[in-house]
């Protein structure tokens, strides 16, 4: 049994694909190194297909990342078994919300209840679960700040589609030709369910306590502070401490 005294317990919830799990796994390691218990919540399907995500109780040390599972509604076969992309994302929201709530409830009865949730921006419904349990919510944007800014403009209709007269001009970014922008923009109508998902990242972002972005600040400094994207940045600097977790 883990008898370590932690400064708090942070639940980290990635979107269940490798390009999202890896950055949040690295963040979890960083959180654990600061004296917090970091639990990475992966889907049941990922846990059964990738043996990396296990933490034997006998080897779980104070700086280890712990792992737990929740259901995305596709425990057997994964997303490949979904009838459609729309059906997949809808089922993930319903099953994921219920299963994540059960996971939080399970830890609530332990010696280390969860204090804070860091969730992938592709899972905005996780904010509702966090608030339901009175937890501190933080959203993590996996993609580069420049890409996030383009989607932010689209969500708020500051950039209209289709782009009829390139280049695309966004403060903080150089003029962008069609080949320079995300595929959802350059090929209008491609994967509409997933296009809506990337726009929905901003549907309730004003309700979180902290916003984290996977970026190199010095390389993307201008775009991260331009006057529109700055509307998302009026939060405290994210520093892991008991003050922020209480």
Q: What is the pLDDT of residues 127-186, one digit of tens each?
A: 999 999 999 999 999 998 889 989 999 998 988 888 888 899 888 889 999 989 998 888
Q: Is residue 105 over pLDDT 50? A: yes
Model confidence band, residue 58 (pLDDT cutoffs 50, 70, 90): very low
C-alpha 201/C-alpha 196 separation (Å) is 9
C-alpha 44/C-alpha 91 separation (Å) is 14
What the block records as the tokens of 156 is 């708020």
Task: Determine how many CB atoms are found less than 10 A away from the CB of residue 186.
Answer: 17
**pLDDT attached to residue 163:** 86
What the block records as the tokens of 225 is 């502070």
- Give the CA-trace dihedral at 28, 34, 37, 41, to 10 degrees: -10
Buried b (16+ CB within 10 A) or exposed e, 29-49: eebbeebbbbbbbbbbbbbee
What the block records as the tokens of 34 is 């600061």
Catalytic residue among 9, 66, 72, 120: 120
C-alpha 168/C-alpha 122 separation (Å) is 24
The tens digit of pLDDT for each residue in 37-51 reads 999 999 999 998 887
State the chain's mean pLDDT as an integer.
Answer: 85
pTM listed for this prediction: 0.87
C-alpha 59/C-alpha 56 separation (Å) is 6
Annotated active-site residue 120? The verdict is yes
Sign, CA torsion 168/173/178/183: negative
Contact 124, 203 (CB under 8 A): yes
**pLDDT attached to residue 228:** 52
Model confidence band, residue 225 (pLDDT cutoffs 50, 70, 90): low
User: Could you report how far apart the first and last alpha carbons of the chain are, in Å?
Assistant: 25
Q: The tokens 């800014």 sit on which residue?
A: 149
Task: Determine how many CB atoms are found less than 10 A away from the CB of residue 209.
Answer: 15
Among 129, 107, 110, 106, smallest CA distance to 118 is for 129
Catalytic residue among 20, 107, 115, 200: 20
Annotated active-site residue 200? The verdict is no
**pLDDT attached to residue 25:** 93
Q: What is the mean pLDDT of residues 200-207?
A: 93
């Amino acid at each position: 049994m883990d008898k370590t005294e932690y400064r708090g317990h942070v639940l980290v919830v990635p979107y269940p694909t490798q390009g999202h799990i890896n950055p949040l796994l690295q963040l979890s390691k960083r959180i654990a190194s600061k004296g917090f218990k970091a639990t990475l919540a992966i889907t049941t399907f990922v846990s059964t297909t990738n043996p990396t995500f296990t933490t034997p109780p006998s080897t779980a040390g104070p700086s280890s990342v712990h792992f737990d599972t929740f259901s995305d509604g596709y425990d057997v076969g994964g997303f490949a078994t979904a009838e459609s992309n729309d059906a997949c994302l809808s089922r993930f929201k319903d099953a994921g919300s219920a299963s994540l709530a059960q996971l939080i409830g399970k830890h609530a009865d332990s010696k280390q209840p969860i204090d804070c949730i860091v969730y992938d921006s592709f899972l905005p419904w996780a904010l509702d679960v966090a608030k339901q349990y009175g937890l501190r919510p933080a959203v993590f944007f996996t993609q580069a700040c420049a890409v996030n800014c383009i989607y932010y403009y689209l969500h708020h209709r500051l950039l209209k589609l289709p782009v009829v007269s390139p280049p695309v001009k966004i403060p903080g970014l150089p003029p962008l030709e069609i080949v320079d922008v995300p595929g959802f923009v350059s090929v209008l109508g491609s994967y509409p369910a997933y296009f809506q998902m990337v726009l929905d990242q901003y549907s309730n972002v004003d309700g979180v306590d902290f916003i984290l972005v996977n970026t190199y600040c010095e390389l993307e400094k201008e775009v991260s502070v331009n006057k529109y994207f700055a509307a998302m940045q009026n939060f405290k600097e994210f520093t892991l401490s008991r003050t922020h977790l209480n």
